[in-house]
Amino acid sequence: MSEDSPILFGLYVPPHPQPLLSPDANQGYSNLRAAFETCRKRIEESDADLILVYSTTWPSVVGHQIQALKESIWTHVDDDFHYLGSMPYNFKIDTDFANEYCSAAKKRGLHARTVEYEGFPIDTGSVVALSLLNPDNRIPACIVSSNMYANRSETIVLGKSASDALIAQGKKAVIVVVSSLSNRMFTEHIDPADDRIHSSKDNEWNEKILQFFADGRLEDLSQLSREIHGQIRVQKVVAYKPAWWLASAMGQHNNYQGEVLAYEALHGSGGAVIQLTPSTGSFGDKEFDEDDVEFYQGDRNVLNKENF
C-alpha cells in the first residue's frame, strides 16, 4: 500500500439481505457470504482503527448525515424481504470520528450533520455490511448517507472529506461502499434457486465494470459513472455515486490492486464483493473528461438569481 494513505483498502459490497439471512437458499448467496467472510478476516488482520461505510440504501435530504450514536442497537426488518427474517444489530460507532467527518465536510462547503438518536433506522445495506464484516464490533464503525439530490461535485467532496477526517485523527480505515452493480430486481417473488441477473445487458455491463475493478482502474470507473447510471441503474436517484465517493476518498487514480471475490445475482440485481488495495503500479491514467473539485460551491444553475 502507499505510505501516506489513511485508507488500508476499500470494499464494494451489495446491500441485499440474502447473504446475511438466507445464504443457503442459493449457491450464489453462499458465495457472496463466503466473500464477506474473507473480507472480515482481512479486516481483522489489518491494523484498521475504523470501518467507514457509505451506503446507497441510506438516502438523505438535508445535506449529508453521519451516524454518531455510540451504541446503535435495534432490530431491523427490510421493506421488501421482511419474510426472510429480522436483523438485530448492535453497532459500536466511533462518535469522535463522526464529528470530525462532519466538520471536515462543512469545511469543504457541504451541508452535513451527525445523527445521534436511539432507534434511528440504520438501512438494510449498512446493517448487512457491518453484521458480516465486523460481527463482534472488534473495531468501531461509522456510516455516511447518500444525499438523494447530490450529484458529482458534492459526492467527490464528501469522499475527500472522509480522507481529511482520517488524516486529522491519525486513523487508519477500511472503507466500504454498499451498492449493487446493476440494480434492477425481478418485480415478482422468485424461487431463490432460479435467481439470475435480470438481463444479459445488465450482466454484460456488470462484467465490464468488474474488469475495471479487477484492473484497479478506480478513477476510470469514477469517470464512467454517468454512463453506468444511464445503462444499468433504475433511475431512483440522480446519479450512480459509489465510484465517485470511493475514488475521491481513496485517491483519484488507477493505482490499485483489484480483486473480485464474488459476483452473483441477488433477486435479479448484480451483487459483487470487491476489494481495492492502494498499490504502486498503475494501469495508466486515461484522459479524464470530468474536472476534479476541492470545495462544494453549490449547484451551478443555468438561471442564476444574480442574473436578474
Residues that bind another protein (CB under 8 A): 58-63, 75-77, 79-80, 82-83, 85-86, 111, 115, 117-121, 123, 147, 149, 184-189, 234-236, 267
Q: Count how many Cα atoms sit within 13 Å of the Cα of residue 60 in the half-sphere of its side chain.
A: 24
Which triple of cell numbers denotes residue 304?
A: 442564476
Q: How far is the CB of 153 from another protein (least distance, A)?
A: 13
Helix ranges (H only) for the chain are: 18-21, 27-45, 95-107, 124-133, 152-169, 200-214, 218-223, 225-232, 242-250
Residue 86 or 282: the one with the smaller Cβ distance to another protein is 86
Burial of 230 per CB tally in 10 Å (0-12, 13-18, 19+): exposed
Q: How far is the CB of 161 from another protein (least distance, A)?
A: 16
Q: How far is the CB of 39 from another protein (least distance, A)?
A: 26
Q: How far is the CB of 199 from another protein (least distance, A)?
A: 13
Residue 3 or 79: the one with the smaller Cβ distance to another protein is 79
Q: How far is the CB of 138 from another protein (least distance, A)?
A: 26
Residue 9 or 58: the one with the smaller Cβ distance to another protein is 58
Residue 117 or 295: the one with the smaller Cβ distance to another protein is 117
Whether the Cβ atoms of residue 165 and residue 101 lie closer than 8 Å to each other: yes
Q: How far is the CB of 175 from another protein (least distance, A)?
A: 22
CA 198 – CA 189 distance, rounded (Å)? 13
Q: How far is the CB of 149 from another protein (least distance, A)?
A: 6
Residue whose C-alpha is closest to residue 144's, from 48, 56, 236, 272: 56
Residue 64 or 217: the one with the smaller Cβ distance to another protein is 64
Residue 123 or 219: the one with the smaller Cβ distance to another protein is 123
Residue 35 or 53: the one with the smaller Cβ distance to another protein is 53
Which triple of cell numbers denotes residue 108?
A: 469543504
Helices 124-133 and 27-45, interaxial angle, to 10°? 60
Supply the DSSP symbol for 114.
E
Write the Ramachandran bin of 240: left for phi over 0, alpha for psi from -120 to 50, otherwise beta: beta
